[in-house]
Every structure is written in C-alpha cells, then in structure tokens.
Amino acid sequence: MSEDIVIQASDLTKFYGKVAAVDHIKFEVKKGEIFGFLGPNGAGKTTTIRMLTGITKPSFGNVRIMEFDIEKQTLKAKQIMGIVPEVSNPYIDLSAWSNMMFQGELYGLPNDKSKEIAAELLENFELYERRKDLVKFFSKGMKQRLILCMALLSQPQILFLDEPTSGLDVQSATIIREKLRQINKEGVTIFLTTHNMEEANLLCDRIAIINKGKIAAVDTPEKLKLMTERLQKVVVAFSQPINPESLNSLPNVDKIEKLGDKIQLHTTAPGKVIFDIVDYAREKHLDMVSLNVVVPTLEDVFIKLTEDKEKSGHGA
C-alpha cells in the first residue's frame, strides 16, 4: 500500500442473511483528501463506514487503515481514527466536559493533554461556555458539534463521519461543513457519507456513488456532475393536448417522452428549454398548466451509471 493511500478497501462485502448490503466494493482514499460516500438511504453507506472503522466485521474482503489491517490490528487502527456516528451519541446525563474527559480516557490520553485539547476544541466549536451543562439540554446541532469535538480529541489522522449534517438546521450544517474544511486543511483525511449531493459537491475532493451495495463511480464532483447534466428534464403540461413531435424543432432537447398529460424533455440546458417552451406556448396560443425542471436523483445517476457500465460490458 502506497504511503499516499490511507484507506484501502478491497473486495469489501457484507451479507445480512442472504442480502448483500455491501457487494464487493473496492476503493482507495488518499492522504489529505475529503472523500465522500454518496448514496440514497439503504445504499450501504453506514455498513461500509462500520466495516472501515472496525465496528462491523466484513463477510469478505479487507480494509487497511494506513499500515494497519482493521481486522487483525483493530485497536491500533481505531487509535488513529476519529468517528462521528450517524446518530448523536454523547452521554446525555453527563456534561459536555465529562463526555470529553471520558473520550480522552477511552483513547488513553493523559489527563492534562485531554483537558488542554478539550478546552481548545470546545472553544473552537463555540461550546466552551456550555461545557458544564448536561448534554440532555443541548440542541441537536450542539450535540453534533460535541460529537465532532469528541471525535477530534485524540487528534486523529483520519476522521470518519456518517451523515454528519443529517437532520440539522441550515446554520448548524453550515458550521459543521466549515469546521470540516478547517480540519482537513490541518491535515486530517476525511471520509464522510451523505445522501446530500450538494454537500458532497461542496466538501469533497472525490466522491464514490454507491447504491444497492455497489459502487457505480468514483470521481471528482465536477466529473460526476457532467454525467448528471445529461439526466436533467423539463416537464410541461398544456391545457390542450398537443402532438409531442411538434416540440422536436426545439433546440437543446435530446429526447421527448409523453407521460400521461405531460411531456418530458431531456436536456442538458433546462434554462434555455424553458424559454423555448414559453415561446412555443405563446406562438400556439396554449396555456401551460405546469412547467417543472426535474433534477436528477442519485437513483437516476446510479441507474444511468450502471446502464453505461452494462452497455460497455456488452460491447466489450
């Protein structure tokens, strides 16, 4: 394993009964990257992160965290990572400070060092003033920030985050994202899962798209976006039925489909197509009942990517 690679998953598979939650996936994360694992709910993101962090044993395959095999050297690998699980789980009957100190003890940090880093982190995450309060009185955003502080207390080289902004208000989510960028700048490699395409786009250097336990693509956000541009659609419904073929003359339209009383136009330039449809409606004296842009879902991207893969497979 090259020194630049800090996470390496090979043929990673997890079966629950006969169902493969994660199905022979393979990827590498480079040192200093923010690597996003993007997929819809139930895609296998949490199972993957749990296997990477040694919480769940894989059915097949292997994970290396830097020089450590996660199954054979679990404790050593865990010692160099910080983990933010999907559900906020500090001890709500302890204060924020006590949670931090407990975390320090679990990672074997000397007491003085724990106190020094904890104070700095809580200050940085705007929780220091509330450090003596029981966590049960914290908002969800505050709990999530505390969890992040707890994960950073041991000064990990790799930080794993499972849906770190899920369910948070916009302000808390923005704070968390800013902090993650800052942590990454300080040299920490970040592996995060999300179902939020925009979040992955804003944060990640590279993204793996996973669905139904399989990775469809691993690439930079910009390259993945190029793939999704082809999947944008404009859906229009007129008050009177029209022949869809009459829209064939519109520029920037790749494909036209009739869906009940609506017409769906596939395009890479939905903004331009909207103007053209409005002009068409004026020219033909038609009223529009609805006009919508359908943004591609992850499912669309995944289906598109897997279709492309299958086609290239057949062609080979």
Site of interaction with other proteins (CB under 8 A): 50, 53-57, 74-76, 78-79, 83, 85, 87-94, 98, 102-103, 105-108, 150
CB 279 within 8 A of CB 272: no
Comparing C-alpha atoms, which of 227, 228, 216, 222 is closest to residue 204? 222
Q: What is the DSSP letter of 128?
A: G
Write down the least CB distance from residue 232 to other proteins, Å.
Answer: 39
Write down the least CB distance from residue 88 to other proteins, Å.
Answer: 8
CA distance 312 to 316: 6
CA distance 184 to 220: 17
CA distance 215 to 208: 7
13 vs 56, beta carbon nearer other proteins: 56
94 vs 291, beta carbon nearer other proteins: 94
Widest CA span of the chain, in angstroms? 78
Type of residue found at 247 = L
36 vs 82, beta carbon nearer other proteins: 82
93 vs 254, beta carbon nearer other proteins: 93
The CA–CA distances, whole Å, from 169 to 105, 142, 174 equal 32, 11, 9
Type of residue found at 41 = N
79 vs 166, beta carbon nearer other proteins: 79
12 vs 253, beta carbon nearer other proteins: 12
Task: Return left, alpha or beta for 140; rule: phi > 0 is left, psi -120 to 50 is alpha, else beta.
Answer: alpha
Type of residue found at 99 = N
Write down the least CB distance from residue 163 to other proteins, Å.
Answer: 13
The backbone torsions φ and ψ at residue 67, rounded to the nearest 5 degrees and listed phi first, read -90, 5
Write down the least CB distance from residue 73 to other proteins, Å.
Answer: 11
53 vs 194, beta carbon nearer other proteins: 53
- Quick one: CA torsion of 218, 296, 38, 12, rounded to 10 degrees? -60
Write down the least CB distance from residue 81 to other proteins, Å.
Answer: 9
Write down the least CB distance from residue 96 to other proteins, Å.
Answer: 14
Write down the least CB distance from residue 93 to other proteins, Å.
Answer: 5
92 vs 288, beta carbon nearer other proteins: 92
Residues across the chain:
316
Write down the least CB distance from residue 313 to other proteins, Å.
Answer: 35
CA distance 257 to 255: 7
